[in-house]
Structure 1
Amino acid sequence: MMAGLSVPMLSTATPSATGKDTFTPIRFGIISDLHQDFAFDAARRLEAFIGDMQQLKPDMIIQLGDFCQPKQENNIIMDIWNRFKGPAYHVVGNHETDGGFTPADAARYWKIPHTYYSFDLKGYHFVVLDGNDVNPDHKPRWKYERFIGEEQLQWLAKDLDNTQLPVIVFCHQGFDNDNAVENAAQVRLLFEHANKKAGFRKVQLAFSGHFHQDYYNRINDVHHVQINSATYFWRGTRYVDEPFDAAIHQQYPLMKYMSFYRDPLWALVEIHADGTTKITGRTSSFVGKTPTALGMPENAWTYPAVPHISNRTLKLSKRLA
């Protein structure tokens, strides 16, 4: 357990009728990789998201990490976030640990029960995982670890066992990409074991961020959705462009390696009673030269760099294949 944080409470949900392939309607807003500490206009982007959510009034909102470092200077971001009057949840990303901070520091700053935790809302069990555990095989440890440790895996297995509700998982680093959570296959196998033990498809969806890309994978009937960054695509240090004022680039020196989206990106997720799930994303354009115009191969980061979050329609089902 991380010092200063209580153990996340396990669900005490009442078992539901799992034989019925129906779902409770729910809507939630989701945003990822705002990067307050790297972006000069993060506050404007978050204000746009919160303004939209205040009008749409979803059942909850969640951010998928790389939101802001847990320090007083970022209280302006938290003040904007807290304008939303409904339930609002946080996922810890790797860049929350910049500046010497820890995932536990971020959890305390955001006032969440732990770096990983779960909650029930409107007939669903939501699981928030922390992909920043230390892999004991790394000696010396990596700057940004991407691992689900044994203690968290044991907690997850018990948490899934204690609910009969359909489960939606959030983690900054995903489970469908070899460069994300290192032991992703182990986590996916845990999902599959939970489903078989329950006798129905319990784990339905897994949302992630981290890569600042837009893609979707379906693995053993679990839907894995990558939510693009609200702010930019990271090109890397080989491809340089400085489309903003010189003063901005001087204050934020890493921005010359980023392809900024002109408008902020986020998505609204709607699950209907028959399991039809609609993800409505936003579309923008790149500021300055596109990554390909700068010579970056389209598959340099596996998936192409795009300034949008795709609209998707998925179909959830509780029936095992």
Structure 2
Amino acid sequence: MDRKEFIKIGALGTLAMSFSPLAFSAEKKDKKVRFGIITDLHYDIMHNGQERISAFISKMNEDQPDFIIQLGDFCVPKPENQSLLDTWNKFPGEKYHVIGNHDTDGGFNRDQVVEFWDAKAKYYSFDKNGFHFVVLDGNEHNESPNRPKGYARYISPDQLEWLEKDLSQTSLPTIVFCHQGLDNEMAGIENGMPVRYALEKANKEAEFQKVILVLSGHHHQDYYNHINDIHYVQINSASYYWLGDKYKTIRYSKEVDETNPWIKYTAPYKDPLWAMVEISQKGKIFVEGRKTSWVGPSPEEMEIPSNQGIYPIVSEISNRDLKI
């Protein structure tokens, strides 16, 4: 998959959900977890990626969530990108990473990415304040000769087995992170259905709504799906929507275009997008995000077909009020 295959996502929303009391019976009813989430910064494309991540970290230091997480397409693991990591690490609390498909551009591999970011692993899980969090690696290679062309976007049998075991060993309400959408057939996880079924099976076996929410990036769009009682929210890119060669436009200056030649293929957001998520033991989730404008002409002004990315192309993360 080349960059033209990007279908883009996001979510600025406000979610309100209710969960089975079985999931919370051993927990204090007023306990909460709160985390900041950002995705698809594309530091290696954007000339002002440092400003965008600095704005996010500044806000996180002000709001002091329990942890922050980025959902991939952050940066490749080269020494020139150390300043990005230095800024990221200015947040004093817990920090987590999800690997995206572009984080290995230039011939790097995922092990190098994990080491450079100081991530826990390619996929892993952790607990916080009475909740369980699962980080998936959607960049494994499908050995089938019939696999789609382009970037790997697959959850291997080994990882799927690990996921099922991990879910069986927790009794906590669970949130899943993955770079590529599990609910998106257009350049999302190839085997999204088996992965979704593993989540649904965990809920059935637990006899309560154990897996409550899946958060993804990658698609640089703003949409939401509710599939078999699980909420799937896509978090929009911090930086841009990908337009491709047909609509390339110099939006900043010729000087910026010379140093960052991929930007002209994008529709950048004037301000960075991110979200704050809060989940309470009372069974509610709130996702609060941001809205901004475009740098240069908007996709609508450029008369880009509204169905190009299936979902509308927007420079925001929407408000959402969802219940189960």
Whole-angstrom CA distance in 2 between matches of 1:263 and 1:65 = 19
Uncovered stretches (5+) of structure 1, i.e. residues with no partner:
1-15, 317-321
Asked if 2 retains the 8 angstrom alpha-carbon contact of 1:213 and 1:226, the reply is yes
State the partner residue of 1:215: 223
Q: Scaled by the length of structure 2, what TM-score is found? A: 0.89
Q: CA deviation at 1:313?
A: 3.0
Q: Determine what percentage of the aligned residue pairs are the same residue.
A: 49
State the partner residue of 1:130: 137
Further displaced range: 141-150 or 154-163: 141-150
Residues 1:27 and 2:37 aligned together: no
State the partner residue of 1:8: none
State the partner residue of 1:13: none
Structure 1 205/165 Cα, relative in aligned 2: closer, same or farther at 3 Å? same
Higher relative contact order (CA 8 A, sep 6+): 2
What does the per-residue CA deviation read over 1:119-175, in whole Å, with 9 as the maximum and x for residues that have no partner?
A: 111111100000001011146884411110111001101110111111100000011
State the partner residue of 1:54: 61
Q: 1:158 aligns with which of 165, 169, 185?
A: 165
Further displaced range: 181-190 or 140-149: 140-149
- Give the alignment of 1:154-303 within 5 angstroms: 154-179=161-186, 180-303=188-311
Q: CA deviation at 1:293?
A: 1.8
- Letter of the 1:18 partner, please give it: A
What does the per-residue CA deviation read over 1:50-84, in whole Å, with 9 as the maximum and x for residues that have no partner?
A: 00000000011000000010111100000000000
For residue 237 of structure 2, give the secondary structure of its aligned residue in structure 1: coil
State the partner residue of 2:315: 307
- Letter of the 1:45 partner, please give it: R
Whole-angstrom CA distance in 1 between matches of 2:293 and 2:274 = 14
State the partner residue of 1:7: none
Q: CA deviation at 1:252?
A: 1.4
Asked if 2 retains the 8 angstrom alpha-carbon contact of 1:275 and 1:315, the reply is no
Q: Scaled by the length of structure 1, what TM-score is found? A: 0.90
Q: 2:23 aligns with which of 6, 18, 21?
A: 18
Whole-angstrom CA distance in 2 between matches of 1:267 and 1:61 = 10
Residues 1:115 and 2:141 aligned together: no
Whole-angstrom CA distance in 2 between matches of 1:149 and 1:297 = 35
Residues 1:145 and 2:152 aligned together: yes
Uncovered stretches (5+) of structure 2, i.e. residues with no partner:
1-20
What does the per-residue CA deviation read over 1:1-32, in whole Å, with 9 as the maximum and x for residues that have no partner?
A: xxxxxxxxxxxxxxx95374968311110000
Q: 1:93 aligns with which of 94, 100, 121?
A: 100
Whole-angstrom CA distance in 1 between matches of 2:165 and 2:147 = 31
CA RMSD of aligned residues (A): 1.7
- Letter of the 2:57 partner, please give it: I
Whole-angstrom CA distance in 2 between matches of 1:206 and 1:300 = 24
Whole-angstrom CA distance in 1 between matches of 2:228 and 2:100 = 26
For residue 47 of structure 1, give the secondary structure of its aligned residue in structure 2: helix
What is the count of residue pairs matched by the alignment?
301
Whole-angstrom CA distance in 2 between matches of 1:225 and 1:82 = 26
